[in-house]
């Protein structure tokens, strides 16, 4: 029996609607939601992403300012820019596009973002609050993955979950959020001897590695919920020699969709949900900044 | 074949010797190491602990100031005390004894401790740095448990580890530190359906729950490294009706020591190591405060 698709596009649309309503309500109370994004240097991919973000924010009524800073900026200058944005009362959210040029220390920069304005949840203090089970703002990708699980109606508490990939912005926070929700979580990574030994017993498998076809049908227990965080762009050529571009996840969808109970497609799964969760985080940040919500209560 | 004992007392003594040498070296450069501890209210157990700490610090040349604050102190007043200690250049380390009276929010207080002076590693920003694999200062109990594993010479990278207990100050940071060192970690807790199914396959088992005899021989794979973080005080009566007090861990030592390759005793295992790691953290904090070490490099 083929798995049910977790429709990230539809879920994302309903979250965006909710955000748009709330942003409008704040605006009518003269509390504008304003996201400032910093882009250092001349990275064409990051620029495309930033342009998409302008449009996405506009759709839900969030003001968006993109600060283009020169490649040559020093750590001190970039930090000073953050301090200015932290103190600017008209700015309710801040993000810094990665990767930064190699002479800048990303940890130190992320640490400089005001905890309440940190819409990506990358300030170590925000990550620590996730560990403490007292999330203020969590990374959007991690929230997106967990939201996809919850959308299935599956009960996370008491379940067995395996997260494959231990990155800072995806795997680790996903493991922490699933633990917070009561799952027994195993975090696999590049040094794991036998990934299938773990995933094949799990009720929930979340894959966030960035390698096409990493997870096949032998990795998955029949009836499991499978969340594919990977976004891989692959190129092949057709019989006529034309290049074909395709976006695939880390999961062999054709195989795994035959045995999983629920699965996210790529594209159309975790990707659009991540965009939606970033908007939701931006709303949350604004509510914290305007003291409509308390950071120490959810 | 009975397991080798991991001698926490001996390991702890050698760490303390190292700390004492380093503290003396700093002092001879007019950089005193000075730990300020806050104790709120009238908690006899915490007072005993604080008195022991005074002695322990004195032994390695660390100055120790205990601030006794009234039970009635407000969140704002306590925060103001922290701000004063953060700014006081003669104070190189700060800790707040837990538990706090119920009207105070411990998270908010821990968040107010300067990251560099946070000798217990409880500020969410320090926990977040552990997640990021860029530890500045980690919680002493977690460091103690991992140090006990490392003392066996066992290679953590690529191993299978299970941590039982998902508390903020022990289980979760232990899981994060083991992940950082390359283990595939499963974090079990109160909602885990079958703890033995996980622990019985693990190369490393760390137990931090606080329940005597939780882990027996059926939980452990022959040859595993077993670290017992539990400290339980139990009372029984002898034939003559006299109360007998005993300290035991979470592991059934008599059983498990017959099959493990290495095991920590309780008392004399993780306990003394935790004290030593707190002193080591206090040294680290002083080096950070005096800018002898950079928080973003280990």
Query: What is the residue whose two structure tokens read 């600017």?
Result: A88
**Residues B242-278: tens digit of each pLDDT:** 999 999 999 999 999 999 999 999 999 999 999 999 9
**Cβ separation of A107 and B166 shorter than 8 Å?**
no
Assign B297 a pLDDT band (cuts: 50, 70, 90). low
Contacts of A32 (CB under 8 A, 6+ apart): A26, A63, A90, A92
Give the pLDDT confidence score for residue B46 in this predicted structure.
81
Domain ranges in chain B? 20-135, 138-272
**Per-state percent for chain B, helix, strand, coil, to nearest 5:** 40, 20, 40
**Of A96, A90, A120, which is closest to residue A108 (Cα–Cα)?**
A96
Contacts of A136 (CB under 8 A, 6+ apart): A115, A116, A121, A126, A129, A288, A295, A296
**Residues B219-232: tens digit of each pLDDT:** 999 999 999 999 99
Does residue B3 contact residue B261 with C-beta atoms inside 8 Å? yes
**Cβ separation of A179 and B172 shorter than 8 Å?**
yes
Both tokens assigned to A247 = 């976006």
C-alpha A100/C-alpha A104 separation (Å) is 6
Q: What is the pTM of this model?
A: 0.95
**Cβ separation of B157 and A191 shorter than 8 Å?**
yes
Both tokens assigned to A124 = 């170590």
Give the pLDDT confidence score for residue B1 in this predicted structure.
55
Give the pLDDT confidence score for residue A49 in this predicted structure.
84
Q: Is B185 on the interface with A (CB under 8 A)?
A: yes
Is the model's pLDDT at A290 over the cut of 70?
A: yes
**Cβ separation of B168 and A193 shorter than 8 Å?**
no
Assign A297 a pLDDT band (cuts: 50, 70, 90). low
Is the model's pLDDT at A298 over the cut of 80?
A: no
B115 to chain A: nearest residue by CA? A125
**Order of strands across the sheet that contains A184-188:** A4-5, A262-263, A225-228, A204-207, A160-164, A184-188, B184-188, B160-164, B204-207, B225-228, B262-263, B4-5
Does residue A237 sit in helix, strand or coil? strand
**Residues B59-116: tens digit of each pLDDT:** 999 999 999 999 999 999 999 999 999 999 999 999 999 889 999 999 889 999 999 9
- Complex ipTM more than 0.85, yes or no: yes
**Residues A116-155: tens digit of each pLDDT:** 999 999 999 999 999 999 899 999 999 999 999 999 999 9
Contacts of A178 (CB under 8 A, 6+ apart): A146, A149, A156, A161, A163, A185, A204, A206
Q: For residue B3, which phi and psi values (nearest 5 degrees)?
A: -65, 155
C-alpha B272/C-alpha B13 separation (Å) is 9
Both tokens assigned to A188 = 């696999």
Over residues B149-160, the mean pLDDT reads 98
C-alpha B190/C-alpha A176 separation (Å) is 16
What CATH code is assigned to A138-270? 3.40.50.720
To the question of domain B138-272 being in CATH 3.40.50.720, the answer is yes
Q: Which residues 159-178 of B have a C-beta within 8 angstroms of A?
A: 160, 166, 168, 172-173, 175-176
Does residue B207 contact residue B249 with C-beta atoms inside 8 Å? yes
Q: Is A297 on the interface with B (CB under 8 A)?
A: no
**Order of strands across the sheet that contains B63-69:** B63-69, B34-40, B93-96
**Residues A263-280: tens digit of each pLDDT:** 999 999 999 999 999 999
Chain B residues in contact with A127 by the CB 8 A cut-off are: 124, 127-128, 131-132
Check for a shared fold between A8-135+275-289 and A138-270. Answer: yes
The shortest C-alpha distance from A56 to chain B (Å) reads 29
Name the fold adopted by A8-135+275-289.
Answer: Rossmann fold (3.40.50)
As a dihedral over the C-alpha atoms of residue B68, residue B119, residue B276, residue B204, rounded to 10 degrees, the angle is 130
The shortest C-alpha distance from B133 to chain A (Å) reads 8
What CATH code is assigned to B20-135? 3.40.50.10860
Is the model's pLDDT at A171 over the cut of 80?
A: yes
Cβ count near B132 (within 10 Å): 22
Q: For residue B199, which phi and psi values (nearest 5 degrees)?
A: -65, -30
Is the model's pLDDT at B298 over the cut of 80?
A: no
Q: Is A126 on the interface with B (CB under 8 A)?
A: yes
**Cβ separation of A132 and B168 shorter than 8 Å?**
yes
**Cβ separation of A187 and B193 shorter than 8 Å?**
no
The shortest C-alpha distance from A167 to chain B (Å) reads 8
């Amino acid at each position: 029996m083929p798995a049910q698709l977790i429709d990230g596009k539809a879920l994302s649309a309903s979250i965006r609607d909710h955000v748009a309503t709330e942003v409008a309500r704040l605006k009518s109370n003269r509390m504008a939601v304003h996201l400032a994004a910093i882009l250092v240097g001349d990275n064409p991919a990051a620029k495309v992403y930033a342009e998409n973000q302008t449009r996405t924010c506009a759709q839900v009524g969030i003001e968006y300012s993109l600060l283009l800073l020169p490649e040559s900026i020093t750590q001190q200058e970039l930090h000073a820019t953050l301090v200015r944005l932290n103190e600017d009362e008209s700015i309710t959210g801040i993000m810094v596009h990665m990767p930064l040029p190699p002479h800048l220390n990303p940890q130190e920069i992320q640490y400089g973002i005001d905890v309440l304005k940190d819409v990506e949840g990358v300030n170590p203090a925000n990550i620590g609050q996730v560990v403490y089970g007292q999330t203020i703002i969590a990374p959007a990708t991690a929230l997106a993955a967990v939201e996809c699980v919850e959308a299935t109606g599956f009960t996370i508490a008491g379940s067995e979950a395996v997260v494959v990939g231990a990155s800072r912005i995806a795997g680790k926070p996903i493991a922490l959020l699933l633990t917070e929700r009561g799952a027994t979580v195993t975090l696999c990574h590049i040094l794991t001897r036998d990934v299938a030994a773990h995933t094949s017993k799990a009720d929930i498998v979340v894959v966030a590695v960035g390698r096409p076809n990493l997870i096949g049908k032998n990795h998955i227990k029949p009836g499991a919920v499978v969340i594919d965080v990977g976004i891989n762009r692959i190129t092949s050529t057709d019989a006529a020699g034309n290049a074909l571009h395709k976006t695939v996840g880390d999961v062999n969808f054709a195989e795994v969709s035959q045995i999983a109970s629920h699965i996210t497609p790529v594209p159309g799964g975790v990707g659009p949900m991540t965009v939606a969760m970033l908007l939701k985080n931006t709303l949350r940040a604004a509510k914290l900044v305007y003291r409509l919500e308390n950071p120490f209560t959810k």
